[in-house]
Structures are given as structure tokens and as C-alpha cells.
Amino acid sequence: MGLLVTFEGIEGSGKTTQIELTREYMEMEGYPCLVTKEPGGVPLGEEIRTLLLDKGDLRIDPLAELFLIEADRTQHVAEVIRPALEKGQMILCDRYIDATIAYQGYGRGVDIDFIVEMNQWATGGLTPHRTIVLDCPVDLGMARAKGEDRFEREGHTFHQRVREGYLRIAQKDPERVRVVSGKGEQVAIQEEIRRIIRPLLDRR
């Protein structure tokens, strides 16, 4: 069986940079990685991603938004994640089940128990081996983000709810979900991520 590590955080938290640095590290250690993302990662998912992110003038009901995300996830797990894990591959995924709880649950106000159930259906119960939450103040994240998609254009209050949601998720599942400060130098952040991931690699 392979390894699934997911990266989470508010907009502008530095996920993209740290995923790339983690990929470089793991491949240097002899563990080729598959890097993927949600929404997206498969052709159907890219179409859904366009609907969710690029259509800034399109109003999407929170439940409709949830169903679109779960449709993407269902296809993504079936087409990419599960087959890769069965082949023993290492996967780094930019957002996964916890993003839906944080954004659609804490951010939009959709019932969290319902989201958890939907996540279970969409993934067949496939939980990450480790989740890295890159935490940073909302002001810093919004300053870093380009403000180009629907979520980046949401206000400070929304992003604060999302941030608090991630921290609550980590409090409830501290073994799987590890919070790493995204405020410091990229090298220092990456060193902390490596300390978290290294024990998982040693077990392979």
C-alpha cells in the first residue's frame, strides 16, 4: 500500500510551495511522488474546478457547492488516488476531505455531520495517512493570495471561520492532522514538514 499525505490551509497559506518542496525531498530520498489536487486532478474534476473557482459572477448555493466538490472527489479517488495507492505510490494531495469540512462546513455553515458522511461516500472511507495544515493569520493569507477565484474573493470573516475550522479539525484528530505555522521562512516550514513525514517513510 502507498502513502497519502494531504496539505490543507486557508488561501495564501503556502501549500503549493510546500507541496513542491516536499515532492523534491521525497524523490531525493528515493520515493517518487504523484502530486494531485482537489478540486481537479482528473478531466471531470477540472471542469468542476472551473465552475467552482473561475466563475466569480456565478452564485452557487452552499449545498450545490458541496455536491460539486464531492462529485469531483468521487471521480478523483476512483480514477487517481485509490489506483495509485494500490500500486504502492506516494501521493501528495493539495486539499482533500478536511477542506470540505473547513470551507463548506465552518465557512459556509453546511451541517458538518452531513459533510463527514458525504466524504465517506465519496472516498469509500479512504483517509489520509497524514494531513499537514499550514496555518497562518487571515490577513497574511489574503495578502499573499491573488484574489482571483471565488474563494479568494471571500471576505475576512469567511476565511477566519475556515481557519478556525482547520484548527478544530486538528484538535479532534491530532495523530493524523498536524498544524505547521505558515508564517516563517519556507526552508524552516519545510524542515518541520519533513520531521512529520519522515517516520511514515521509515515504515515503508
Q: What is the pLDDT of residues 39-50, one digit of tens each?
A: 999 999 899 988
Residue range 129-154, pLDDT digits in tens:
999 999 999 988 888 877 666 777 78
Query: How many CA atoms lie less than 13 Å away from 120 in the CB half-sphere?
Result: 6
Residue range 22-37, pLDDT digits in tens:
999 999 999 999 999 9
Map residue 4 onto helix, strand or coil: strand
Question: What's residue 147's pLDDT?
Answer: 60
Element (H, E) at 166: helix 156-172
Residue 190: give the domain boundaries.
Answer: 3-202
Dist. CA 32–CA 26, nearest whole Å: 7
Element (H, E) at 178: strand 177-181
Residue range 157-196, pLDDT digits in tens:
999 999 999 999 999 999 999 999 999 899 999 999 999 9
Measured between alpha carbons, how far is residue 177 from residues 64, 83, 131, 180 in Å?
27, 23, 5, 10
Write down the number of H helices and E strands in the chain: 9, 5
Task: Classify residue 182 by its DSSP letter.
Answer: S
Q: Work out how many domains the chain is built from and give that number.
A: 1
Which among 117, 98, 95, 109 has a CA at the least distance from the CA of 65?
A: 109
**CATH number assigned to the domain comprising residue 170:** 3.40.50.300
Report yes or no: 103 and 16 within 8 Å, Cβ to Cβ.
Answer: no
When mean pLDDT is compared over 56-60, 127-131, 153-157, the highest value belongs to 127-131
Which among 1, 2, 7 has a CA at the least distance from the CA of 130?
A: 7
